[in-house]
Structure 1
Amino acid sequence: MRKTLQLGSFFTTGTDEVRQWTIRVGTKAPQAAGVIHTDFEKTFIQAIVCNFNALKELGDEAEVKAKGKMMTKGKEYVVEDGDILLIKAGAAKG
């Protein structure tokens, strides 16, 4: 059904939560950030990206970084199904 509806997902992680977010296939990083909070889309700077399969294969975040599989992506990056994102955004204007 997800394929038919052209849905994908990405993940965010924190010290006490891992969360899956649903997006349409072809969504760029700023719009994916906007799914989390609209201010993140407006103030998007970059996304630190790790694909789930790389993490699964290498075992942990340190190894992913060591193998150069952790990537910094900008506003034109199309989020892939299974990406793990760390969103960097500026301060919201008040």
Structure 2
Amino acid sequence: HLITFFTVGPQEARAWTVHTGATAPEAAGEIHSDFQKGFIRAETIAYDDYVALGGEARAREAGKLRAEGKAYVVHDGDVMHFLHS
């Protein structure tokens, strides 16, 4: 089965697919292999929180943005920003 996660920037929002059970570094690798190799953490917001609060800034203010590590299993609808070296 596949699930969808999102990346959002000032110019574009994009949906990506990964297999159920994929970790954050594996999801980062769907965007670019260098992101997986240099993975540091993923700033993650649940989709429902992102929509209900009107975006990343308000979700962060409300404490809904989480820093997830290499073992994090991606959930369907996660909005993710990957930090990498």
AA in 2 matched with 1:40? F
Contact 2:50 2:79 in 1 (8 A): no
Q: TM-score, with normalisation over the residues of structure 1? A: 0.86
Residue 60 of structure 1, CA deviation: 2.9
Contact 2:6 2:79 in 1 (8 A): yes
Q: Does 1:76 align with 2:75?
A: no
Letter in 1 for 2:31: I
Structure 1 stretches of 4+ moved >4 Å: none
Is 1:18 matched with 2:38? no
CA distance in 1, matches of 2:57, 2:9: 16
**Residue ranges of structure 2 left out of the alignment (5+ in a row):** none
- Match of residue 57 from structure 1: 52
Quote the RMSD (CA, aligned, Å): 0.9
Q: How many residues align?
A: 85
Runs (5+) with no aligned partner, structure 1: 1-5
- Counterparts of residues 22-41 of structure 1 (less than 5 Å): 22-41=17-36
Q: CA deviation at 1:75?
A: 0.2
In the TM superposition, what whole-angstrom CA distance separates every residue of 1:31-70 from its partner, at most 9, and x where no partner exists? 0000000111111000000111001222232221122110
State TM-score, norm by structure 2.
0.94
Q: Which has the larger radius of gyration?
A: 1
